[in-house]
Structure 1
């Protein structure tokens, strides 16, 4: 049992470290020589990279940040596939029961890593792209449905933050609609609330009508991401 618990703990640490990989920070530092946390919204995510470096860099960061979420969940699936053929797993351990809970914990760890990166002094982004990757790995139906909501709202509003928060709200609904297990529903609730919480400054700008649309530059001081 001790070996199994150690492996589970290690997978959560790796999920956090995957989430912590500072894609946006590295991209902007390498291509423009600046700290992205000191420009725009202060976030290291794809939207701020888009505003800073343009569509190509923004799409690249979006893809890698999404991949981080996919890998965090894939790691758990691989662990359980490995454990199913090992003798050190006690017969009392129900792997089918454990797996969705471990997937949920790994997803939350990756989200936390992206927004509180150990490599950036526990600052980071808003975990939207990483959350999408997690959802696609958890349930591709939920992931694609959430992406559809995001795309619809962004097409109408041209405001990424509003689209991200709408998607965060929709996740829990889609988890129920697609009959996902309880741990995944809890992930939708907790992860969605966390993403919305990370958009506090965006909510303030939306209420005052100063939130920039796609293609516009954020002229206010960088928000605190710590």
Structure 2
């Protein structure tokens, strides 16, 4: 019974917008109304600098990691663990506290993947860093790492529910980055 309570709690935790809270605390403009209009770390860096972005990134990562880690500590089955991670991720994308308009989900997905397996999360991060070092485009790095994450999940964790949720997060990340993909294809993404 308690495992099913963790799923809605994970969604509520995911719904806490680190970007909006950090911008308010630091006296910065609302990220939904500045820059790209996206309440995420990249946009916070545009409007508030590296420190604000780093805090936002950490907050978004933790809201994916903590619910999954708690589910792991409670020794929940893989299906419940996967649903908990998906709920936290969906909370970030569609936060109940902010009219269901959230960020793109990269940092929160990293937190979820780290919760599933430290090695899985680090595989995502290493891929992001490698692609960024070569291309210097954050969105491209996130997209490539996201596309590979279900493969990594299967190879590292070897669990169908975890790999399936990694695949669902990847599809949602691609959807949320559709404007970035269009700009990449047009050679306009920098």
Per the normalisation by structure 2, the TM-score is: 0.94
- 1:43 is matched with 38
Q: Does 1:176 align with 2:171?
A: no
Larger Rg: 1
Q: How many residues align?
A: 190
* Contact map agreement 1:23 1:65 (CA 8 A) in 2: yes
Deviations 1:4-33 (A, max 9, x none): 2xx222111110011111110111233234
In structure 2, stretches of 5+ residues that fail to align are: none
Query: Comparing both chains, which one has the higher relative contact order based on Cα–Cα distances under 8 Å and sequence gaps of 6 or more?
Result: 1
RMSD of aligned alpha carbons: 1.4
Q: Shift in Å at residue 179 of structure 1?
A: 4.4
Q: Any idea what SS the aligned residue of 2:26 has?
A: helix
Q: Which residue of 177, 181, 189 corresponds with 2:167?
A: 189
* Contact map agreement 1:21 1:114 (CA 8 A) in 2: yes
Q: Shift in Å at residue 39 of structure 1?
A: 1.5
In structure 1, stretches of 5+ residues that fail to align are: 81-97, 213-226
Q: Any idea what SS the aligned residue of 1:32 has?
A: coil
Deviations 1:162-211 (A, max 9, x none): 11111101101112222421111101211111111110111111122222
* Contact map agreement 2:19 2:41 (CA 8 A) in 1: yes
* Contact map agreement 1:24 1:45 (CA 8 A) in 2: yes
Within-5 A mapping of 1:1-226 = 4=1, 7-80=2-75, 99-212=77-190
